[in-house]
Chains A and B, each alone.
Chain A
Amino acid sequence: MKILKIPKANLDLFVSVLPAFGDVYAPVKRGKGYAFDRPLRWFDVQMNYPRTILPPKKFMLPPREATFAFDPAKGFQDLLADAARQLVLFGVHAYDIFGLNILDRVFAQGRYSDPYYVTRRKATTIIGVDFEPDERHFARSMNADFVDSGFDLFLSDIGEEYLVLVGTSRGDDIVVLSSSLLETPTETDFDEYKRRSGLRRAAYRTRLELGDLPEILEMEYHSEVWDEMGERCLSCGSCSMVCPTCYCFDINDEVELGSRAGTRIRSWDSCLFKTHALVAGGENFRSQRASRIKFRYYHKQRGFVAEYGRPSCVGCGRCSEACPARIDIQTVIETIRGERNGTASSVARSA
């Protein structure tokens, strides 16, 4: 892999070449948190942020999108062209790139690929940046603290400079265009990278064991922990909305007033919502809250492992941060593993 370095003082000039590759989105302050948005000036871009409120999936799977138009007279016309806007996502953390790589497995690979997702993914340039884990991150436990694909460029802080990993041909186009800003790294730079990478690994609060988690989940299927969580959970779906790998969607036809023409809309959905497993005729296979929150854990930590060989979780900590009932995924996994006492209060984080 081609590796370069860029002095931090050159970053603003570097970012100024990016609009040639698409509309630039980067982490900026939003209230008490951070969000990927269009920065008005370089000064607004946050290079050290814990996590954004929403993960970058919002660019590939918008919260709401029209997929095609229908008209009894004209039939069906896809709205795929609307998805082809060129984007540059600057400053994406490794676990979020990993999240997109997981979504790729579901939406771009397999028997059917999703043309809306694939069009957006192909039109998006991704520039990663490393991060300092806080107490909610457990990306290392999910093997998502480093990523070796899914980005065009990746920046790693080595003090006065960033190392620049070039991941794709498009990433190379960017460094060729900005070659006057870049330098060749030295052995000392690599040593500094290794030193900092070791420090980051050591900074995680917990180390969750994943190896036998699917088997343990099979054994704990009837555990009281799920009922206790059902008592706490409000079924608000916040955890799904902020999750980089939750992708369930709902489909609805919106019809123009006074006609049968309209558009088919897909919008974010959540398995925590009561209607998720409702079928025609009124049968609901998960009418209880406890069964729904249990389903979410089993799908991500058990079912996805069976299907794709890894959990659909990247350890970003957003679900714990967003949960109004303070259900904390790290604590839930430790409880199920028997490393904590399973009570309703123990699956919640302290206030």
Chain B
Amino acid sequence: MELQAALPVPHKHLENPYLPMLARIVRIQRMVPDNYLFQLRFADASVADTWDHRPGQFVELSVIGTGEMPISISSSPTRRGILELCVRRVGRVTSALYRLPTNAMVGIRGPYGNGFPVEQMEGNDLLIIAGGLGIAPLRSLLWYALDNREKFGTVTLMYGARTPGDMLFREQVLSLADVDDLSVLLTVDRDPSGTWKHHVGLLPSLFSKVRIDPSRTYAAVVGPPIVYKFVLAELLKLNFHKDRILMSLERRMKCGVGKCGHCSVGYKYTCIHGPVFTYWDAINLPEIV
């Protein structure tokens, strides 16, 4: 089954999906040295007010005069007006973005991709598993679930980072640990500072701390390949159905609209058929990892 429910309709640029819309950088939050959170607001107020997306979707961000890149959306569609993008500095375009000051204009087009099938997940327990940067798209899903709390059963966040200093949105997730109706399980691979009050160990070691009913749970997993390898093994040990495990893939989505071919994985285009795939779809795609 493909995850292609009714998606938020892209904006008036639907006539020309390649043409970005201007957005202003309203705030830059330096979370860790090479990972900033950019808060953006569309210059056109009607776009800012009507923008909608699904957790797990992405946008194409243009740094005017440098180039364009796909970035997953970290904000939730339940919190409108500001679009939040968590960007890691890895290449030419991200470096140019890091040089921009607050109030500079960038180009945004989207939202693209299928996103998480949230309507289908409603009525079920949610197990959100983030490794490192994987928190960027999953933060959108987490806030979506918390803002629609009545629609879901138990909600559990498992989040692992290398060290406490590498943990993105650290203050936010730490404060969520005190929220009723949400289980937050945090871990770091190691704690050089010696001040970490939570679990130390790899992500899979958190599974012994929770009770999960796989028959009524959707697991959403995003992280580096090593996380998929070990977390998927844990989920299968619990007898999860393969179509109840959701994962998000990253490829070079250059056009975002299923034309340019660069994000193909096996037979599918990540930008149209993904980036969210069920584990069942994923194992049927060659060259998935």
User: Interface on A for B, CB 8 Å cutoff?
Assistant: 67-68, 70-72, 75-76, 78, 80, 106-107, 110-112, 114-116, 221, 247-253, 255, 259-262, 264, 266, 269, 271, 276-281, 285-286, 291, 295, 298-299, 302-303, 306-307
B205 at the interface (CB under 8 A from A): no
Please measure, in the bound complex, the distance between the C-alpha atom of A78 and the C-alpha atom of B272, giving whole angstroms. Answer: 24
What total count of A-B pairs have CB within 8 Å? 122
Residues of A within 8 A of B20 (CB): 76
Contact A248 B19 (CB under 8 A): no
Q: How far is the CB of B114 from chain A (nearest CB, A)?
A: 10
Picked from B19, B69, B259, B267, the residue with its CB within 8 Å of the CB of A302 is: B267
Contact B91 A281 (CB under 8 A): yes
B258 at the interface (CB under 8 A from A): yes
Residues of B within 8 A of A252 (CB): 67
Q: How far is the CB of B91 from chain A (nearest CB, A)?
A: 5
Please measure, in the bound complex, the distance between the C-alpha atom of A80 and the C-alpha atom of B15, giving whole angstroms. Answer: 11
Picked from B15, B64, B262, B265, the residue with its CB within 8 Å of the CB of A115 is: B15
A260-B65, A277-B252, A279-B251 known; A285-B268 Cβ under 8 A: no
Query: Which residue of chain B has the shortest Cβ distance to A294 in the bound complex?
Result: B286
List CB contacts (< 8 Å) of B8-37 with chain A. 10, 14-22
Contact B19 A76 (CB under 8 A): yes
Q: Which 6 A-B pairs have the closest CB atoms?
A: A260-B65, A303-B267, A248-B261, A112-B257, A112-B17, A280-B90
Contact A260 B64 (CB under 8 A): yes
Picked from B90, B107, B260, B286, the residue with its CB within 8 Å of the CB of A248 is: B260
Residues of B within 8 A of A250 (CB): 254, 260, 262
Contact B261 A249 (CB under 8 A): yes
Contact B16 A80 (CB under 8 A): yes
Please measure, in the bound complex, the distance between the C-alpha atom of A193 and the C-alpha atom of B280, giving whole angstroms. Answer: 51
Residues of B within 8 A of A106 (CB): 258-259
Q: How far is the CB of B180 from chain A (nearest CB, A)?
A: 39
Q: How far is the CB of A259 from chain B (nearest CB, A)?
A: 7
Picked from B65, B250, B268, the residue with its CB within 8 Å of the CB of A303 is: B268
Picked from B65, B67, B105, the residue with its CB within 8 Å of the CB of A261 is: B65
Contact A112 B258 (CB under 8 A): yes
Q: How far is the CB of B70 from chain A (nearest CB, A)?
A: 9
User: Interface on B for A, CB 8 Å cutoff?
Assistant: 7, 10, 14-22, 43, 62, 64-69, 90-91, 94, 105, 107, 250-252, 254-255, 257-262, 264-268, 272, 286-287
Please measure, in the bound complex, the distance between the C-alpha atom of A261 and the C-alpha atom of B250, giving whole angstroms. Answer: 30
Picked from A70, A112, A286, A298, the residue with its CB within 8 Å of the CB of B64 is: A70
A280-B94, A280-B252 known; A68-B260 Cβ under 8 A: no
Q: How far is the CB of A203 from chain B (nearest CB, A)?
A: 33
Q: How far is the CB of B194 from chain A (nearest CB, A)?
A: 31
Residues of B within 8 A of A264 (CB): 18, 68
Please measure, in the bound complex, the distance between the C-alpha atom of A106 and the C-alpha atom of B259, giving whole angstroms. Answer: 7
Q: How far is the CB of B263 from chain A (nearest CB, A)?
A: 9
Residues of B within 8 A of A277 (CB): 251-252, 262, 264
Contact B261 A111 (CB under 8 A): no
Query: Which residue of chain A has the shortest Cβ distance to B10 in the bound complex?
Result: A112
Contact B107 A70 (CB under 8 A): yes
Query: Which residue of chain A has the shortest Cβ distance to B273 in the bound complex?
Result: A307
